[in-house]
Amino acid sequence: MSAIDVVRPQRSAIERYRRSLWLLTVRDLRVRYSTSALGYFWSILDPLVMAGIYWFVFTQVFHRSVGNEPYIVFLLSALLPWMWFNGAVSDSTRAYIREAKLIRSTKIPRTIWVVRLVLSKGIEFIASIPVLALFAIVTGAALNWEAVYFLLAIVMQALLTVGVGLIVAPLVIFFRDLERATKLALRFLFYASPIIYGVTDLPKSLHVLASFNPLVGILSMYRAAFFPDQLDLLTIAIGGGVTLVILAVGILIFTRTERAVLKEI
């Protein structure tokens, strides 16, 4: 028995996970930008158009009684993170189906297929922050020290999105209807979360109930950078707890169904 001529050092599992995740994320972004002429612009065009519509409807047509001034900054500070959540969750319904061939031929840890979607959409979100800054400067919105919550919000949103993705991705394989149900749920969630309105606009009786939607706490933290009155620590604490529960459920569902999913695709 001859020895192997080249012995490659075995890298640690975490290191391999990180490298594979990064490769796939970069691939995602590269494919997206190499096949469309507008590239980066698309990731900001969508929230901009939506923000434009809401701004027009609420400040020009109706006489708005919700949200803070300047309303465009108020809108964008929640719309941009929402685009991240919305994009990653709706992509995760196809996480396995789109990559079936690759999943059948490589044995990298399967959670990567979900995490990379969250990461690539997250990078697009970060890349869209300058747009928010631009509008803040133009409208003269003041930045407060509460902007540090921005970082906590990003971490919490990443955990939440991964958790939801881990639940949705495997279940879609078995229940195809879930793909459309997810789209519907996302649309509902858009209006159920403080995006076009603020947490403080909710009736007092709904306040605690709304806190169980983790997006309420997360979006209020993003907004606190410009509108400190939106910050509500109880909401954030409850939302944080719910986020961890969703993540735990996601990990459980994902690991329990992994075997069946691999046979199915």
Partner 1 sequence: MADPVIRVQGAGIRFKRNRRSRRSFKDLFAGRKRRARANEFWALRDVSFDVRQGEAIGVVGRNGQGKSTLLKLVAEVILPDEGSVSVHGGVAPLIEITGGFVDDLTVRENVFLTAGLHGMTKAEITARFDEIIEFAEIGDFLDTPYKHLSSGMKVRIAFAVISRLEEPIILVDEVLAVGDKGFREKCYQRIEELLAGGRTLFFVSHNEKDLRRFCTRGLYLDKGALVLDSSIDDVLERYNTDYGI
Contact residues: partner 1, CB under 8 A = 1-6, 8, 10-11, 16, 19-20, 23-24, 27, 30-31, 34-35, 101-108, 174, 256-260, 262-263
Q: Whole-angstrom Cα distance, residue 170 to residue 177?
A: 13
Taking the complex as a whole, the smallest distance from the CB of residue 250 to partner 1 amounts, in Å, to 14
Taking the complex as a whole, the smallest distance from the CB of residue 90 to partner 1 amounts, in Å, to 21
Taking the complex as a whole, the smallest distance from the CB of residue 45 to partner 1 amounts, in Å, to 21
Q: Whole-angstrom Cα distance, residue 245 to residue 59?
A: 38
> Toward partner 1, which CB reaches closer, 179 or 258?
258
> Toward partner 1, which CB reaches closer, 180 or 256?
256
> Toward partner 1, which CB reaches closer, 36 or 155?
36
> Toward partner 1, which CB reaches closer, 27 or 187?
27
Confirm if 88 and 117 have CB atoms less than 8 A apart.
yes
Q: Whole-angstrom Cα distance, residue 129 to residue 59?
A: 23
> Toward partner 1, which CB reaches closer, 98 or 187?
98
Cis before 109 (ω within 30): no
Provide the 10 A C-beta neighbour count for residue 37. Answer: 7
Taking the complex as a whole, the smallest distance from the CB of residue 171 to partner 1 amounts, in Å, to 8
Taking the complex as a whole, the smallest distance from the CB of residue 116 to partner 1 amounts, in Å, to 11
205 is written with which tokens?
Answer: 């009786």
Taking the complex as a whole, the smallest distance from the CB of residue 216 to partner 1 amounts, in Å, to 29
> Toward partner 1, which CB reaches closer, 103 or 219?
103
